[in-house]
Each structure stands twice: as structure tokens, then as C-alpha cells.
């Protein structure tokens, strides 16, 4: 079985850079983009931030009322479209935009709350509304088809990609620009995550901040926030062939969505397994066909353990042939944009035939008994299919299966 949906464009603006190859190189080499935040906080906090000159896409006048989350989205979507060879071959009404964004424009909201003179910009609402990034991408690219936003916490952009693939497959659109964006590194947001006691702890100094996110490790203490945006251009295999698309990065072979329906913040292995199995079934693959899983792996005590239980339950006797890693250890947790960035990394793993190693896990938790990818590990067989998972607060689970082309 084949979904017939190809990834013909990749674009990202990530903590490691804005070129898919160089970002993947950094991940494979284990280079951390996480650093200590220079903020006035009661407790130290770390995050992975984006360093990019956005003047390529916006002049000073254009940035008025455009939050950073939308600026990053416009940049990443533009890079993806350029990689795909542009949009001149498609009618604007037949192009769709599908964006995941968990929380919207945090910088605009923070500025409004912290206004020193009591004046709030009248552009605050359109700047921080969660659908602003999708709207800005549509305006910049002249897209007049469906322009949709998915706010499903940490699964937002993975869900957006799955929904975009459905639209392509059923013929609702000819081209889908799908991904996610998030830019939450402001004091107010960091404080709220610290209040939940989910962020990684560390003692300031040396490389402690860079190594503080340790998925699957026995001494893990939580995740670190990241920011950025990533987009995929999706189209049918027939259309890509007809227009002689310059790039065919991978096939999005299957996707699976489910809901735990058990708890707002506590994950459930059975719910995650339903998404994993649904993605494999749609792709026409068995667990033994999958060589690599880019795990959700946030480095929380409960989250990592439950995810490993779900993986063991689905792969069973085929577990030994699988390798698993969470690249959040190096680029942080992009929340609403996490699934999109990790989808790009998973696609790169297929293209480059390399496994992103599990960083910062010297002593794995015995309860996280899955085969972790290790630095320098050689492939024992060609990597033909890989899977990326995103599991969210609210209980939504999303898994994407990619095949090498």
C-alpha cells in the first residue's frame, strides 16, 4: 500500500540553523543548541533559541504587529516552497496551508502584560492569536485554498502534517504546505512551565545547561523549551512526476491519530499504541519494517517510561531490529512545532542513511528498555522506513511514517 503523498520541499528555522543538512549534521554529531537563559528568574532555566536574520523576509515596518512566532513561520514556509521549486505550477485556490501552533504569539502577550505606561498595542490580538502564523504565510505566498491552524499542544504540527496529507490524498488540494511554529521563550511562559515542575534542572556553569535534557536517562529531570518553525511541502506522486519536481525527499506513507481520553497531562501507553498501529496500518508496513523511531521523548519521568512501554507493546519480538532516539536532548522541545522539526530530522535520517544518536543518556533508565541509537552506530540494514511520534497534553497522539524514495 502507498499513500501516494510525497514530501517535495523542506524548510526550517531551528536552534541549530536553517538548512536541513547542516541541522542534521549537528544532531548526528551530538552538538547541543541548549543554553542557559539570561532572564530575571527565581530559578535558572535553559532553552534552545533561534539565531537568524529575519530581515530577509521582513523590514522594520512589516514587523509591526507580527509576532516572532509568525516571522519564523513565514521564513520556514518560504524556504520549504523554494526547496520545492516554487508554487507557479499550482492554482492558488488549490494550495492549502496547515499549521500547528500550540500557544500563539507569546512575545506580543508578554509585551502587553509588562507595558510600563499602561498602553497596550492595538495590534496585540492579531499578533498573538494562534492562527496568525498561518494567515501570514498565506498572505506572503498568495495561497487562497484552505488555511488551517491546529492547536493540539505538543502534537500540533504532527497533526497538521497528517491532516495536510489527507487533503492531498483525497484531492482536496494539489499542494499542501504543512508544519508548525512556536516562539515561547519569554519570562512569563518560562515561569509557567517552571511552576509545573516539568523543566530540566541544572547547576549553572560549564556545559550543565547544554546537557540538562536527558531523555530516557536514569537521572533525567525534565525537558527544555525550544523555539523555531519547520514546514513540509506535500503533493501527490503523480503531480510531482508530471511537473518534474526538483526534489523528492521522502514519501509520507502513513499517519495515525488517537486520543488517550484518560487524563489531561498524564500519558497512556494504550492510546499511544493506537496511533502507532494506525500509522503502520495505513502505510501498509509492519513494525519490523521500521528501522528508526524519532520518539517524543521529553525527558520527563512519566512520559519517557510510558512511551517506551508503548513502543515495546507494538514492536514486541521485532524490537531488537529497531533504534530509538529523542533529538529533543539537543534542540529542545518546540511544543507546537516539535512534530514538524522532528519530521524533518526523520526524513533526513532516511535520506542520509544515518541514525540520530541518543544524546546525554549515559545510564538508561531500566524502565526505558528500548534499543537506543548510539553515536557512531552503523546501520545493520538499509533504513527504508522511519517513524516520528508526538504525544500531547490533552491526550492526543500523532505518529507519522516516512519511506525512503
Q: What is the pLDDT of residue 222?
A: 97
Across the chain, what does the average pLDDT equal? 96
Q: What is the pLDDT of residue 188?
A: 93
Residue 116 pLDDT exceeds 80: no
Q: What share of the chain in percent tops pLDDT 90?
A: 92
pLDDT by residue (tens digit) across 181-191?
999 999 999 99
pLDDT by residue (tens digit) across 220-244?
999 999 999 999 999 999 999 999 9
Q: What is the pLDDT of residue 104?
A: 92
Residue 400 pLDDT exceeds 90: yes
Q: How many angstroms separate the CA atoms of 398 and 389, rounded?
A: 6
The residue-averaged pLDDT of 45-63 equals 94
Residue 64 pLDDT exceeds 90: no
Identify whether the C-beta of residue 45 lies closer than 8 Å to the C-beta of residue 204.
no
Residues 6+ apart with CB under 8 A from 97: 77, 134, 137, 138, 141, 143, 145, 146, 147, 148, 176, 177, 178
Q: What is the pLDDT of residue 54?
A: 95
Which pLDDT band, with edges at 50, 70 and 90, does 9 fall under? very high
Task: Respond yes or no: is residue 333 known to be catalytic.
Answer: yes
Q: Which of 296, 331, 360, 368 is catalytic?
A: 296
Q: Which of 154, 213, 361, 368 is catalytic?
A: 154
Query: How distant, in Å, are the alpha carbons of 184, 244, 293 from that of 238?
Result: 39, 10, 28
Residue 40 pLDDT exceeds 90: no
Q: What is the per-residue burial (b if ≥16 Cβ within 10 Å, else e) of 67-100? A: bbbbbbbbbbbbbbbebbbebeebeeeebbbbbb
Task: Respond yes or no: is residue 249 known to be catalytic.
Answer: no
Dihedral angle computed from the Cα positions of residues 271, 277, 278 and 280, in that order, rounded to the nearest 10 degrees = 150
Q: What is the pLDDT of residue 173?
A: 98
Residue 1 pLDDT exceeds 70: no
Q: What is the pLDDT of residue 111?
A: 86
pLDDT by residue (tens digit) across 301-344?
999 999 999 999 999 999 999 999 999 999 999 999 999 999 99
Q: What is the pLDDT of residue 380?
A: 86
Q: Which of 333, 360, 361, 368 is catalytic?
A: 333
Cell numbers for 279? 500509522
pLDDT by residue (tens digit) across 130-145?
999 999 999 999 999 9
In the chain, where are the structural domains located? 5-242, 254-403
Q: What is the pLDDT of residue 2?
A: 63
- Domain 5-242: which topology? Peroxisomal Thiolase; Chain A, domain 1 (3.40.47)
CATH 3.40.47.10 given to domain 254-403 = yes
Task: Respond yes or no: is residue 296 known to be catalytic.
Answer: yes
Residues 6+ apart with CB under 8 A from 226: 15, 33, 34, 47, 48, 49, 182, 328, 331, 332, 333, 334, 335, 338
- Find, among 324, 295, 294, 331, the residue nearest to 31 by Cα: 331
Query: Is this structure's pTM higher than 0.95?
Result: yes
Within 10 angstroms of residue 377's Cβ, the number of other Cβ atoms is: 14
Is 254-403 in the same CATH topology as 5-242? Answer: yes
Amino acid at each position: 500500500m502507498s499513500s501516494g503523498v510525497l514530501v517535495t520541499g523542506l524548510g526550517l528555522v531551528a536552534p541549530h540553523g536553517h538548512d536541513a543538512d547542516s541541522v542534521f549534521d549537528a544532531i548526528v554529531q551530538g552538538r547541543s543548541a541548549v543554553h542557559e537563559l539570561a532572564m530575571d528568574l527565581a530559578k535558572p532555566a535553559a532553552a534552545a533559541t533561534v539565531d537568524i536574520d529575519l530581515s530577509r523576509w521582513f523590514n522594520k515596518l512589516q514587523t509591526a504587529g507580527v509576532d516572532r512566532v509568525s516571522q519564523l513561520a513565514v521564513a520556514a514556509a518560504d524556504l520549504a516552497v523554494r526547496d520545492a521549486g516554487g508554487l507557479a505550477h499550482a492554482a492558488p485556490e488549490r494550495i492549502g496551508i496547515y499549521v500547528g501552533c500550540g500557544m500563539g504569539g507569546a512575545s506580543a502577550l508578554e509585551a502587553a502584560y509588562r507595558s510600563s505606561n499602561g498602553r497596550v498595542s492595538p495590534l496585540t490580538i492579531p499578533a498573538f492569536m494562534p492562527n496568525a502564523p498561518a494567515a501570514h504565510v498565506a498572505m506572503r505566498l498568495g495561497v487562497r485554498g484552505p488555511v488551517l491552524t491546529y492547536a493540539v499542544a505538543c502534537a500540533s504540527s504532527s497533526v497538521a502534517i497528517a491532516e495536510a496529507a489527507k487533503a492531498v490524498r483525497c484531492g482536496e488540494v494539489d499542494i499542501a504546505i504543512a508544519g508548525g511554529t512556536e516562539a515561547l521563550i519569554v519570562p512569563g511562559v518560562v515561569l509557567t512551565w517552571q511552576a509545573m515542575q516539568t523543566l530540566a534542572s541544572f547547576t549553572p556553569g560549564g556545559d550543565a545547561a547544554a546537557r540538562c535534557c536527558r531523555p530516557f536517562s536514569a537521572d533525567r529531570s525534565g525537558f527544555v523549551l525550544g523555539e523555531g518553525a519547520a514546514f513540509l511541502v506535500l503533493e501527490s506522486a503523480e503531480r510531482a512526476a508530471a511537473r518534474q519536481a526538483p526534489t523528492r525527499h521522502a514519501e509520507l506513507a502513513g499517519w495515525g491519530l488517537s486520543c488517550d481520553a484518560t487524563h489531561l497531562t498524564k500519558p497512556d501507553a494504550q492510546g499511544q499504541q493506537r496511533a502507532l498501529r494506525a500509522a503502520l496500518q495505513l502505510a501498509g508496513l509492519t513494525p519490523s519494517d521500521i528501522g528508526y523511531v524519532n520518539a517524543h521523548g521529553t525527558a520527563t519521568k512519566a512520559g519517557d517510561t510510558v512511551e517506551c512501554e508503548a513502543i515495546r507493546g507494538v514492536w514486541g519480538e521485532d524490537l531488537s531490529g529497531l533504534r530509538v532516539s529523542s533529538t529533543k536532548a539537543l534542540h529542545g522541545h518546540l511544543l507546537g512545532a516539535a512534530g514538524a522539526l522532528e519530521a524533518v530530522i526523520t526524513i533526513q535520517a532516511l535520506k542520509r542513511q544515518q541514525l540520530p544518536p541518543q544524546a546525554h543518556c549515559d545510564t538508561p533508565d531500566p524502565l526505558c528498555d528500548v534499543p537506543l541509537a548510539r553515536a557512531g552506530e552503523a546501520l545493520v540494514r538499509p533504513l527504508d522506513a522511519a517513524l516520528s511520534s508526538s504525544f500531547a497534553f490533552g491526550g492526543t497522539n500523532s505518529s507519522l511514517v516516512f519511506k525512503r524514495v
